[in-house]
Amino acid sequence: MTVAQTTLLAYNDLKASAKLGRLQAEILSLIQERSDLSNRDIARITGLEICTVTGRVNELSKAGLIRAWGRKTDPRTGKTVKVWRAI
C-alpha cells in the first residue's frame, strides 16, 4: 500500500470509531486484535453478558465493520459457532 492508501484507511477507521458506543468500540478493538473470537469468547474476555455481546456484534456486523469468516466448536457447549473478523 502507498502512504496515501494507509492514511485514508486510518482516517476511515477513526471516522467509523467516532460513531461507535463504548462497548461497540471495545468489542471491535478486541476483534481487530484477534480474528478467532466467537461471541462467547468475547463475553469471557470482556466480562460482559453474552446477550450484550451478541447485540453489539450484530450492530457491528450490520454497520459493515466486522463479518463472520469461519466457524469453530465452542468448548463449553460443543456447538459450532461463528468467529468474527474486522473488515
84: β partners: 37, 68
Contacts of residue 3, defined as CB under 8 A and 6 or more positions apart, other chains included, come to none
In the prediction, which pLDDT does 11 show?
53
From the candidate CATH numbers 1.10.390.10, 3.40.50.300, 3.40.50.1100, 1.10.10.10, the one assigned to the domain spanning 3-86:
1.10.10.10
DSSP string over 49-76: -HHHHHHHHHHHHHTTSEEEEEEEE-TT
pLDDT tens figures, 76-87: 899 999 999 999
3-state secondary structure of 78: coil
Percent of the chain beyond pLDDT 70?
A: 79
Confidence category of residue 9, pLDDT binned at 50, 70, 90:
low
Residue 47: pLDDT band (50, 70, 90) is: very high
Domain residue spans of the chain: 3-86
The reported pLDDT for the residue numbered 71 is 97
| Residue 14: pLDDT over 70 | no
